[in-house]
Amino acid sequence: MICIGAKSVPAVRIPVRSVSKERIRIGRRSPRRMETAGVAMRSPAAVAVAATPLMLTSGASGRVNALLSLRVLRSLLLLLNSLILFLLLPFRRRARFVAAAERPSSGVGEEKKGAVVVRVPAGMVARRRGSEGEAVARRAMAIRRVGVREEEGEEKRSKREFAMFSTARGDSLFTQSWTPVAKATRGLVVLMHGLNEHSGRYNHFATQLNDHGFKVYAMDWIGHGGSDGLHGYVPSLDYAVSDLKAFLEKVLTDNPGLPCFCFGHSTGGAIVLKAVLDPNIESRIQGVVLTSPAIHVQPSHPIIVKLAPIISLIAPKYQFTAASMGPPVSRDPEALKAKYSDPLVFTGSIRVRTGYEILAITSYLQQNLSKVNTPFLVLHGNDDTITDPEASRRLYEEASSSDKSIKLYKGLLHDLLFEPEKEEITKDIIDWLCNRLDDSSRELER
């Protein structure tokens, strides 16, 4: 008798030769086929033989252990994510206020009092999905604004135009220019805006430069204003640096013989500084003006510097939303309202990759301040909490330039050209540019 559980079945004699052959045949099969073969046997003794593979208990427990390991890994990942969210608190999504006048209308060439109607090619306003369609909508808005006169009598002082600039990567960047009308052009200024804003915000400043004979060019860098890319996302600030170099080359080719200066605000200032470290660029411009340059920024926790490269690879476009609103950038309430109600200004939380790129370029600049040879004027507010005014002082002290100037304004914040004292600051910039322009003219006369 053979006992199987609580039952017993009569023993059946099986020839030894048959059993050995069956074992050999079963031994060559996979475990799944062994089970199938065992079920196919009809005799009770064969069922007993087929039941012996149930001794695979240790293998099953191994799979359970693996499952438990996966659960532990998931728990650790959740814990790490919570830690990262806690440490990266300064980047909270801010509320976005859209002025009614800036909401997209049904017509492309919207006509306003005292405005020029700009007809946008249909290809620029076609509806598309994702970030591409969103960039097209921003571009259409940027183009419409070119035809809007923001100040009375502006058309008698300045001629404003736009153009699209193609990069080596195939991206299309929105650019615009302001040409003096009442004055002869005697110099060039290439302008780079700051993080999350766009070149159109500097219309008033560009018009004032026109009044002194400077033709102004500006470019919305990747992911900003009317240019290609996800709004507020910068895959690499080196893209912006190389785009500026190529744009400068075009500007100089289109305006032979005119002295050229660069202007950069905040991160735009960092882009300009890195570009002029290239000897080919340094030799072709007469000087740079930097307002609140991003030479040093302070993360909320030192561990962010270590984690940023990893997170930027895993989730480059991720936005941290668990932080408080950032510090103010101007003491002028109207200037703040205008900035944060502007649809072309990115008011969401900073994207991970963008933040990492800022840390990377500031680290590079801090290690190469002594290599700066270009004449420059750096201006910074002492109460700026976005970028470090002490880093501007370091630039002034360490740079190798023989012609360098610094102005630190007591009590002023980050956006110097949008502070209540903006006219004073603009005058300081124009005076510096005119002095270098006169020096350049005298050298040419010799």
Q: What angle do CA 186, 190, 192 make, to 5 degrees?
A: 155
Which residue matches tokens 């000087």?
287
Q: Report yes or no: 404 and 376 within 8 Å, Cβ to Cβ.
A: yes
Q: What are the domain boundaries of the chain?
A: 2-53, 83-445
- Token pair of 444 as six digits: 């040419």
From first to last of its 446 residues, what are the pLDDT tens digits of the chain? 444 444 444 544 555 444 444 444 444 444 444 444 443 444 444 444 444 444 444 444 444 344 345 565 666 666 666 666 555 544 444 444 333 334 444 333 444 444 444 444 434 444 445 567 899 999 999 999 999 988 888 999 999 999 999 999 999 999 999 999 999 999 999 999 999 999 999 999 999 999 999 999 999 999 999 999 999 999 999 999 999 999 999 999 999 999 999 999 999 999 999 999 999 999 999 999 999 999 998 765 566 666 777 878 888 888 865 444 578 999 999 999 999 999 999 998 888 899 899 999 999 999 999 999 999 999 999 999 999 999 999 999 999 999 999 999 999 999 999 999 999 999 999 999 999 998 766 565 55
Q: What is the pLDDT of residue 70?
A: 57
Cα separation of 61 and 73, whole Å? 18
Q: What is the pLDDT of residue 307?
A: 74
Which residue matches tokens 């069922």?
47
Q: Tell me the CATH number for domain 83-445.
A: 3.40.50.1820
Q: Give the burial class of 362: count Cβ atoms within 10 A of its Cβ; 0-12 exposed, 13-18 middle, 19 or more buried.
A: buried
Q: What is the pLDDT of residue 301?
A: 57
One-character DSSP codes across 379-437: EEETT-SSS-HHHHHHHHHH---SSEEEEEETT--S-GGGSTTHHHHHHHHHHHHHHHH
Q: What are phi and psi of 441, to 5 degrees?
A: -65, -40
Helix, strand, coil share of the chain (percent; to 5): 50, 15, 40
Q: What is the pLDDT of residue 304?
A: 66
Q: What is the pLDDT of residue 122?
A: 38
Q: What is the pLDDT of residue 46?
A: 44
Q: What is the pLDDT of residue 381?
A: 98
- Token pair of 132 as six digits: 């591409």
Prediction pTM value? 0.72
Q: Give the burial class of 170: count Cβ atoms within 10 A of its Cβ; 0-12 exposed, 13-18 middle, 19 or more buried.
A: exposed
Compute and round to an integer the Cα radius of gyration of the chain: 34
> What count of residues does the chain have?
446
